Amino acid sequence: MAMSATPATLNVLLSFPSPNQRRLHLGTSNQSSSFLRTHLVNTKSFSRTTMTVAVNASRFENITMAPPDPILGVSEAFKADTHEMKLNLGVGAYRTEDLQPYVLNVVKKAENLMLERGDNKEYLPIEGLAAFNKVTAELLFGTDNQIILQKKKRKSVIDVCVFCSLKVATIQGLSGTGSLRLAAALIERYFPGAKVLISSPTWGNHKNIFNDARVQWSEYRYYDPNTVGLDFNGMIADIKAAPDGSFILLHGCAHNPTGIDPTPEQWEIIADVIQEKNHIPFFDVAYQGFASGSLDTDASSVRLFAARGMELLVAQSYSKNLGLYAERIGAINVVCSTADAATRVKSQLKRLARPMYSNPPVHGARIVANVVGNPELFSEWKDEMEMMAGRIKSVRQKLYSSLCTKEKTGKDWSFILKQIGMFSFTGLNKAQSDNMTNKWHVYMTKDGRISLAGLSSAKCEYLADAIIDSYHNVS
């Protein structure tokens, strides 16, 4: 008789001429023989043996295969390509002119300082490294900003800092992504039903973050395909139409993926509308100093809103400007109208972080604290940032010149120069982007975004040929 088992059975008919051969087969593998002896029933019928093997179905059978990440998946496809002219313009990571990863000299010096001091690897507090939080807030808002200055209270005849009247709650996060996720959790818990407005298009992970945090979101117009520029009127209209008290997600500088930023005058109007609607601005600052080469210039949008006395959220990342991609170092800052509110917000951010990851990593935090907190290293860092930003500006200019030289129909490619930062929105659609990859071995995201940080001057003409061909010959 055959034995069946739940939840599933696999019937296997095996024929063996003799019991010795059956024993030999069962003994070929310790695991298989143990399994078969446990779940096997012999029924002799002349010289044939029928065996039924019971196999338990996986409890994870209903989990489907996830699609590849639209950005990180590009790198996997690039690695498998053997073409000598292949280009990886998908992931936003800085490369040298030889298209090699770059470790900043100031990072190496900061690490040497850590070794010389013999820094340990003890747990950080939930909010992260205090020295990191201090310098990162100063870097973002400016060292003389009233919202982060510590005030002294007179006690007897001695001035002592018995309390700190910071209006900013800053805690170390897991780079920009983790910092955004903490802020999303704060919104979900303390602003139930509130909606976050994000630009169309935006960085591919923004929607994932809010979806997983169960925070509602909708889009506001940003990109105008007709001009390959900013749809400013549409943006303003959509922010005005949003329910009062919505969170408006803004890219502090070097908008990802378009590279299109509002002008200083447009930022003023955006701030006006957000104030009128009692919205809460929520900045994602991933490229401070890496876009223009100036830390102050790239933080000007955030400082504009803070100077108006507005409450706001700012997520920061040091992946790009210090090249600390793998260190996952960043911060979430919440600017409040009072120091007391900031203290309470910080306590709740810590409470949210505790069950997520308990406390953040120390290595990247010490690098940032050493670089930003040391005047000599800080000066060197600004020079290196200017060098990196300058290289990207250089290949942007050369790509534009190559496109103009090869263009025969009079198409205007000047939007390439109007964009800023490491990305350029080419205006290519999905079919055209597929042609870039399939025919020209240029790997990029399907929305037409390319990372100029992964382009060398030597390959600008090749890329221009690929863009011209894809734009004109693929519908």
Q: Are residues 78 and 188 in the same domain?
A: no
Position 146 scores a pLDDT of 86
Judge whether 272 counts as a catalytic residue: no
Q: What is the pLDDT of residue 75?
A: 82
109 belongs to a structural domain: no
Domain co-membership, 235 together with 329: yes
Q: Are residues 340 and 394 in the same domain?
A: no
> What does the alpha-carbon distance between residue 411 and residue 399 come to, in Å, rounded to a whole number?
15
Sign (positive or negative) of CA dihedral 186, 189, 195, 199: positive
Report the alpha-carbon angle 251-247-185, nearest 5: 95
Rounded to the nearest angstrom, the gap between the alpha carbon of residue 336 and the centroid of all alpha carbons in its chain is: 25
Q: Quick one: tokens of 394?
A: 């250089």
Claim to verify: residue 13 and residue 79 sit in the same structural domain: no
Alpha carbons 78 and 88: distance in angstroms, whole number: 6
Cis, bond preceding 361 (omega within 30 deg of 0): no
Query: 204 and 326: one domain?
Result: yes
Residues 238, 355: one domain?
yes
Q: Of the candidates 311, 344, 373, which is a domain's last residue?
A: 373
Q: How far apart are CA 402 and CA 454, in angstroms?
A: 17
Are 226 and 145 found together in one domain?
A: yes
Is 62 within the bounds of a domain?
A: no
In-domain check, residue 110: no
Taking the CA atoms of 235, 239, 242 and 246 in sequence, report the sign of the dihedral they define. positive
Identify the CATH number of the domain in which residue 88 sits. 3.90.1150.10
The H or E element that residue 173 is part of is strand 168-174
| Last-in-domain residue among 373, 407, 430 | 373
Length of the chain: 475
Say whether both 213 and 81 belong to one domain: no
107 occurs within a structural domain: no
Of 346, 373, 400, the position where a domain reaches its end is: 373
Q: Are 222 and 263 spatial neighbours (Cβ–Cβ below 8 Å)?
A: no
Active site residue 217: no
* Planar angle of CA 427, 392, 379, nearest 5 degrees: 145
Q: Are residues 309 and 437 in the same domain?
A: no
| Structural domain includes residue 435 | yes
* CA–CA gap between residue 201 and residue 93 (Å, rounded): 20
Residues of the chain with pLDDT under 50: 1-19, 21-46, 152-164
Are residues 361 and 417 both part of a single domain?
no
Q: CA-to-CA distance for 323 and 321, rounded, in angstroms?
A: 6
- Residues 168, 190 within the same domain: yes
Q: What angle do CA 296, 301, 304 make, to 5 degrees?
A: 95
CATH number of the domain where residue 348 is located: 3.40.640.10
The DSSP code for 185 is H
Question: Which of the following is catalytic: 320, 346, 398, 459?
Answer: 320
- Write down the pTM of the prediction: 0.83
> Which 8-state DSSP code applies to residue 67?
P
Which residues lie closer than 8 Å to 114 by C-beta, 6 or more apart? 363, 366, 367, 370
Domain that holds residue 177: 125-373
| Domain-located, residue 236 | yes
267 counts as catalytic? no
- Please count the structural domains in the chain: 3
Pairing of strands 158-160, 153-155: antiparallel
Are 42 and 90 members of one domain? no
Which of the following is catalytic: 238, 261, 284, 298? 284
Three-class SS of residue 257?
A: coil
Q: What is the pLDDT of residue 13?
A: 37
Quote the CA–CA distance of 302 and 442 in Å, as a whole number.
Answer: 35
Does the residue 117 lie in any domain? no
CB 406 within 8 A of CB 427: no
Is position 399 within any domain? yes
Catalytic residue, candidates 167, 195, 203, 346: 203
